[in-house]
Amino acid sequence: MKPQVAVSPAIVLSVEDLSIRYRLPSQQLLKPPASMTAVDRVSFKVRAGATLGLVGESGSGKSSTARAVMALERPSSGRVRLFDRDLATLSRGELKQLRQSFQMIFQDPYGSLDPRYSIERIIVEPIHGIARSEARQRAAHALEEVGLRADDLRKYPNQFSGGQRQRIAIARALVTRPALIVADEAVSALDVSVQAQVLNLMKDLQAEHNMAYLFISHDLAVVRYLCEEIIVLFRGAIVESGNTLEVLQSPAHPYTRELIDAMPRLGVRRRVARIVPGSPGGTPSAEVGLLQGGCPYRTRCARAAAVCQEAPELRERGDGRQVACHFG
């Protein structure tokens, strides 16, 4: 049974000024270790039945944000609220009960399924408070919904391909009919034809059950198809957000343009970002997190000017979009 909470159903997830910092290995014996900011003051909301996409290059903070939303990572500051309940304040038992209402699909189809467990045990694991026979029926139905057979419940993960394993992971997320699913590169391991099937399935289930999705992907074509709203992250901070079609058709931030230009197209040569050797754009992400001051994108931006020595604030443009750029 899902927890009953007295709150407006319009907002399922609210993330407020979320920051996540990691401590780096100490370089000197008597000197305190430095820290890296993986997520920097990120705020957004996800409404019931809606899909919000998080995009950005590797190391931009997408997965760290997803882990904080799932209460797998404790925020350094800020709050993550599901149904207006601050996840950081819940007891272990309360969080376990609430997890039926929000599930996650992980990127790695090999590491996210315990090889010691049968498919039935894997899928029914999130279900609480119902008879075993009913749980098994729901697991069989979830498998069929993602294109597998009910007989597969008796098998083990090593008997399936990577794409099939990811469909099993999706079935596990869907089995409780949660209000929110966090999908971290959920279809990247699937063939294109299977991707289309899964995306259509996710849309159908969303329409039927009013589920919300926080969808993390590097594939802008997938985000364009599935997500009504989009957030573009760069080095842990939001640089642009708004309606997906508007952002992708007319990007206001040069980094968003860079992502769009990097999309593979038939007969079109991909653009390569201009990075000055030794600049922050060419350093590992751990070192990038130590940089202070100025626009973090300035070393890769063709429009960089003196004003970019000051970090731009994320501001409303007046058209429902936000952008963190002096020229946006």
Q: Is the dihedral of CA 124, 130, 135, 141 positive or negative?
A: negative
Query: How far apart (Å, rounded) are the C-alpha atoms in residues 222 and 216?
Result: 10
Structure token pair of residue 104: 């996650």
Residue at 300 is within a domain: no
Residue at 173 is within a domain: yes
Q: What is the pTM of this model?
A: 0.83
User: What phi, psi does 16 have (nearest 5°)?
Assistant: -125, 115
Burial code (b: 16+ CB inside 10 Å, e: under 16) for 259-288 equals: beeeeeeeeeeeeebeeeeeebbeeeeeeb
pLDDT score, position 54? 96
Task: Give the CA diameter of the chain.
Answer: 67
Q: How many domains, the chain?
A: 1
Residue at 320 is within a domain: no
Residue at 69 is within a domain: yes
Confirm if 251 and 278 have CB atoms less than 8 A apart.
no
Residue at 87 is within a domain: yes
pLDDT tens digits for 46-64? 999 999 999 999 889 999 9
pLDDT tens for each residue of the chain, 328 residues long: 444 444 445 899 999 999 999 887 777 777 777 778 899 999 999 999 999 999 999 889 999 999 999 999 999 999 999 988 999 999 998 998 898 899 999 888 888 899 999 999 999 998 888 898 999 999 999 999 888 999 999 999 999 988 889 889 989 998 988 999 999 988 887 778 778 888 888 888 888 888 999 999 989 999 999 999 999 999 999 999 999 999 999 999 999 999 999 887 644 454 544 444 334 443 333 333 334 568 989 888 888 888 888 889 999 987 889 999 988 7
Residue at 81 is within a domain: yes
Confirm if 181 and 213 have CB atoms less than 8 A apart.
yes
Question: Which strand ranges, in their side-by-side order, compose the sheet holding 102-105?
Answer: 102-105, 180-184, 212-216, 51-55, 229-234, 237-243, 322-323, 315-316
List, as one string, the DSSP characters of 37-67: EEEEEEEEEEETT-EEEEE-STTSSHHHHHH
Residue span of the structural domain in which 182 resides: 11-25+33-244
pLDDT score, position 9? 52
Q: In 3-state terms, what secondary structure has residue 164?
A: helix
Residue at 253 is within a domain: no
CATH code, domain with 171 = 3.40.50.300
Residue at 97 is within a domain: yes
pLDDT tens digits for 123-179? 999 888 889 899 999 999 999 988 899 999 999 999 998 888 988 998 999 898 899
Question: Which strand ranges, in their side-by-side order, compose the sheet holding 35-47?
Answer: 35-47, 11-23, 77-82, 85-86
